């Protein structure tokens, strides 16, 4: 990871307000980094930053989560294009794309990407001294898994 991080921002509908408040509170730290957002979250984050900065701020906007945005983000993680994820998901609401959410969380853990699922963890990540430094996460070696012997029946 370079000093400038690729930070993914995702929020379920009932948590979008929380994410926007978090963005407004932490915008001076966040604007140093490249932001990638899913769906309408991206438009809301862009508006909030534009209001704070009084100028435009470019955000990479993916599709809405249920329309494939979660999967796009998962692919970016697998390609090493995401360094940090702030994903405020709603644990009290069922979602039609729960399997996509679970897959996104799984791929983030698999690739050792820091992921905040609540505001407190997001605060710890954005205020860490590591957020503005080069950092090399320890990666698990899956070579043995890839080369495992598969029996065809």
Q: Report the predicted TM-score, pTM, of the whole model to 2 decimal places.
A: 0.90
pLDDT digits over 120-147, tens only? 999 999 999 999 999 998 888 888 888 8
pLDDT category, 95, cuts 50, 70, 90? low
State which CATH number among 3.40.50.300, 3.40.50.1380, 3.40.50.1370, 3.10.310.30 fits the domain covering 6-146: 3.40.50.1380
End-to-end CA distance of the chain: give it in Å, rounded.
43
pLDDT on residue 130: 95
102 to 14, 52, 68: CA distances (angstroms): 18, 33, 13
Q: How far apart are CA 58 and CA 61, in angstroms?
A: 9
pLDDT category, 152, cuts 50, 70, 90? confident
Residues carrying an active site annotation: 70
């Amino acid at each position: 990871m370079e000093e400038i991080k690729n930070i993914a921002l995702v929020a379920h509908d009932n948590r979008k307000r929380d994410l926007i408040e978090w963005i407004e509170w932490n915008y001076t730290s966040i604007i140093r980094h490249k932001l990638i957002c899913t769906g309408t979250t991206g438009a809301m984050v862009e508006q909030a930053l534009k209001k704070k900065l009084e100028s435009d701020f470019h955000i990479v906007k993916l599709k809405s989560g249920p329309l494939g945005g979660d999967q796009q983000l998962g692919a970016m993680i697998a390609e090493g294009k995401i360094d940090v994820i702030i994903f405020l998901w709603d644990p009290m609401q069922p979602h039609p794309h729960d399997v996509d959410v679970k897959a996104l969380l799984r791929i983030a853990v698999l690739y050792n990407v820091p992921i905040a699922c609540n505001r407190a963890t997001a605060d710890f990540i954005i205020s860490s001294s590591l957020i503005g430094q080069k950092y090399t996460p320890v990666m698990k070696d899956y070579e043995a898994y890839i080369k495992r012997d598969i029996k065809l029946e």
